[in-house]
Structure 1
Amino acid sequence: MNLEMQLTGLTVIGGGQMARALVGGMLESGCLKASELTIVHKTKSTGEWWSSKYSECTTTTDTVEAVAGAKVVMLAVKPHIIAEVLAVKNSAGKSADWSGKLIVSIAAGIGLDKLIDGVGHDRVVRVMPNTPSLVGEGASGFCVSGGVSDDDVQLIETMLNSVGIAAQVTEPQMNGVTGVSGSGPAYVFLIIEALADGGVAAGLPRATALQLATQTVLGAAKMVRETGEHPGFLKDNVCSPGGTTIAAMSVLEQNAVRGAMIQAVQASANRSRELA
């Protein structure tokens, strides 16, 4: 990590699971110091979680004040309340001042145009991260609007690469990012669970089956990444003629596992379009 790009003055609006994964990963990597972080929360339990986990961060329910002191603002709230957040006013009737801030949204399906309209400028970035960011293995996609500088892009890449990998895409491609990597961890968790269940059905103790299933998925993914080989090629190398693996592959094909995965990605991408 380039320490000159260390993030300062970050305000995160919303401190739920995705913020905990992404921002927590940034804190663990050293990309961000807790003393430079402000979390805006609605519930007492959320504020208490951040204060207990990262005692040097600031927690508040005052969005207007938190935005005023920020250089970068991350919108980590549910898509349906984005408009409410961007139009927020404090008890004195003062609105949040978004001018001069780099705005980073991780709200699924909310387009750049809506964000630009809400903050009143076009220094805006959309990010689709995923939960493995918390363990430094995230896969994030992002797109930018016209007012985002090269330095801003470098800062975003530093943030996201500190917790995994980042890919800059066009805005129409963001729905595909949502379908593949945004929702993807859930698909893989389901696969690991199913592999472990299969192991138990074959006579393995539950703990042993889960351990083997988890390591198998991890190892297979690492082989694809580090060898650069097509996954179909690596699959064929495991399938000996008349062997156990090709027998298993036949069952997977009969049950349309490949088609189901493709449809799952498409369903997630389509839902992202609907949210927009």
Structure 2
Amino acid sequence: MVTVSVIGCGNMGSALIAGLSRAGGHEIVAADLDTDALAAVEEHCTRTTTDPSEADDSEVVFVAVKPDIVGAVLDDIDVPAESVLVTIAAGVTTDYVAPRTDAQVVRLMPNLAAETGTMAGAVAGDPVPDVVRDLLADLGEYAEIEESLMDTATALNGSGPAFVFYLVAAMRDGAVAEGMDREAAETLAAQTFKGAAETVLRSDRSIEELIDAVCSPNGTTIEGMESLWDSPVEDEVAAAVEAAARRSRELSAEVGDE
């Protein structure tokens, strides 16, 4: 049984709480000043509190608040040296956090799919403790990366779900324009993304090889792929990732100026 605290029960914090509760085997304490936010996660928790200092003595303490209030939260809590403090905030580096706590510091960029156990998470630590690895495995897939790449991870898997939602909607709308019912088109588009993503994760073949496997000569898929290859969509998606990463670096500079 691992004791876990989540300070900040907004979208990401509540997703972590729901995902860990779903996995089982954890004592979860949730802290937030917003009583409505606490009420929304209460069923998943052992205890809730409006005082962050009452949630700082767990084995693992997640600080899942907006970047501009991380410093204030760290001033209010006293995480023990034997615990792990995991920060979840775009642009907030471990160099900023470490001098403000005695605990071991780990930086995490998860996404909202943690709620369903299908998270893509990027984690940086020196090292990442096994207890954190185990928690992340309960929430989905994760990759250990260098701290210097966290802005990229923020853009890729942190902001990435919104980009994927956009692409799902584009595929849905294309089918609707062809006469398909909107609800049916959305189900098929979303499940297609889900299945394709699982195939990438589970297959030994490269993405390029998987594309070739779907494309029969003179078939329907190759016709659609020719349209994509002739378009700027690849560059535009890359530009979205670059823009999000740039904003993460800007946030880091703003936090560092505090």
1:72 is the counterpart of 2:72: no
Partner of 1:236: 212
The one-letter amino acid of 2:30's match is I
Would the alpha carbon gap of residues 223 and 71 (structure 1) be closer, same or farther in structure 2, given more than 3 Å must change?
Answer: closer
- The yes-or-no answer on 1:20 pairing with 2:38 is no
- Equivalent in the alignment of 2:192: 216
CA contact (8 A) 1:179 1:265 kept: yes
Query: Residues of 1 paired with 2:162 and 2:13: CA distance?
Result: 17
2:173 is aligned with 1:197: yes
Q: Which amino acid aligns with 1:171?
A: E
Distance in structure 1 (CA, Å) of the matches to 2:94 and 2:33: 25
Q: 1:61 maps to what in 2?
A: 50
Q: Does 1:131 align with 2:112?
A: yes
Aligned pair partner of 1:206 in 182, 185, 192: 182
Distance 1:64 1:162 in 2: 26
Matched ranges for 1:1-276 at <5 A: 6-8=1-3, 10-32=4-26, 36-51=27-42, 53-54=43-44, 57-67=46-56, 69-88=57-76, 96-100=77-81, 101-119=83-101, 121=102, 123-145=104-126, 153-276=129-252
CA contact (8 A) 2:2 2:59 kept: no
Deviation at 1:250, TM superposition (A): 2.8
TM-score by length of 2: 0.90
Secondary structure of the 2:78 match is: coil
Q: Which amino acid aligns with 1:254?
A: D
Render the CA deviation track for 1:175-209: whole Å, top value 9, x for unaligned.
22212211111111111111111100011111221
TM-score between the two structures when normalised by the length of structure 1: 0.85
Query: Contact conserved, 1:31 with 1:159, CA < 8 A, in 2?
Result: no
Residue 138 of structure 1 aligns with an amino acid whose one-letter code is M
Once the two structures are TM-superposed, the CA of residue 239 in structure 1 deviates from its matched residue by 2.7
Q: Give the Cα–Cα distance (whole angstroms) in 2 for the partners of residues 171 and 124 of structure 1.
A: 12
- Deviation (angstroms), 1:122: 5.8
More divergent stretch after superposition (212-221 vs 154-163): 212-221
Q: 2: distance between equivalents of 1:175 and 1:62? A: 30
* CA shift for structure 1 position 110: 0.5
| Displacement of 1:245 | 2.3
How far is 1:257 from its partner?
Answer: 0.9
In 2, the alpha carbon distance for the partners of 1:70 and 1:222 equals: 34
What one-letter code is carried by the residue in structure 2 that aligns with 1:79? P
**How many corresponding residue pairs?**
251
Partner of 1:92: none
d(CA) in 2 for partners of 1:252, 1:31? 46
Structure 1, unpaired ranges of 5+: 1-5, 89-95
RMSD over aligned CA atoms reads 1.8
Q: Which moved more, 1:181-190 or 1:245-254?
A: 245-254
SS class of match (2:129): helix
Q: Provide runs of 4+ in structure 1 moved above 6 Å.
A: none
Structure 2: unaligned runs, 5 residues or longer: 253-258
Corresponding residue SS for 2:86: strand
| Contact persistence 1:31–1:162 (CA under 8 A) | no
**Which amino acid in 1 is paired with 2:50?**
T
